[in-house]
Amino acid sequence: MTIAIEGLYAIINRISQTPEELIRLCKQLLRGGADAIQFRNKSVVSQEVIDLAEIFSRLCRRFGVPFIVNDYVDLAKKSNADGIHLGQGDMGVKEARQILGDAILVGVTVSRVDEAQQAVIDGADYLGCGHIYPTTTKHKPYPPIGVSVLEKVVNAVSIPVVAIGGITANSVSSVLATGVAAVSLVSAIERHSDPSWACKEIKDIIVANRDPICR
């Protein structure tokens, strides 16, 4: 599988859902057209979490979609993930590659141009930039950066940028106009009554914004 970060970058949050609910969500995201899936687990890496990650990894491979683990390098290795996504306070890019190998995809969260440029120097393959708009998914110690800062980040680097944070179907077009490679919607999809339909709606918007014929 050729690994590329573009289009719709979906995130599965392990919060209060049961394993069965999370597996169903993963299938819905894939059937809806997600182009990459990240598993975000902020609790202890239990055997249940490992089992879930392995299932997600197999499902993503079946659909030819990159599977990325947030934060936990060991979990990424055990689940045979295609990538790892690191925050500013997590392990460094080079150290992650030493553990997971050179073929692993490494993403880094940034919110400023200097962070983005440093991540490129460190060897990141893509950036997750945000939060763009106010979000309730994660507590943030700083205000939304908005599309103006996002565009500056996009123009400052040569690797793909994924926009994240408070994005909805109504704001996807404005975010895509900055030149980002992908958009990530969390609440707008996982809290929807039909996550698969929500994914399809976003994919249609992405295609319409990138294909002049569809405009």
The annotation status of 166 as a binding-site residue, yes or no, is: yes
Which tokens sit at 28?
């819905």
Q: Could you please report the per-residue DSSP string of 68-100? A: EEES-HHHHHHTT-SEEEE-TTS--HHHHHHHH
Helix 113-122 vs helix 93-100: crossing angle, to nearest 10 = 40
Q: How far apart are CA 101 and CA 62, in angstroms?
A: 22
In angstroms, the first-to-last Cα distance of the chain is 31
The annotation status of 112 as a binding-site residue, yes or no, is: no
The annotation status of 138 as a binding-site residue, yes or no, is: yes
The annotation status of 2 as a binding-site residue, yes or no, is: no
The annotation status of 39 as a binding-site residue, yes or no, is: yes
The annotation status of 90 as a binding-site residue, yes or no, is: yes
The annotation status of 186 as a binding-site residue, yes or no, is: yes
The annotation status of 80 as a binding-site residue, yes or no, is: no
Helix (H) or strand (E) holding 133: none
DSSP E strands, 17-176: 36-41, 67-70, 83-86, 105-110, 126-130, 161-164
The annotation status of 40 as a binding-site residue, yes or no, is: yes
The annotation status of 147 as a binding-site residue, yes or no, is: no
Residues 6+ apart with CB under 8 A from 115: 88, 108
Annotated binding site: 38-42, 70-71, 90, 109, 135-138, 166, 186-187
Annotated binding site for Mg(2+): 71, 90
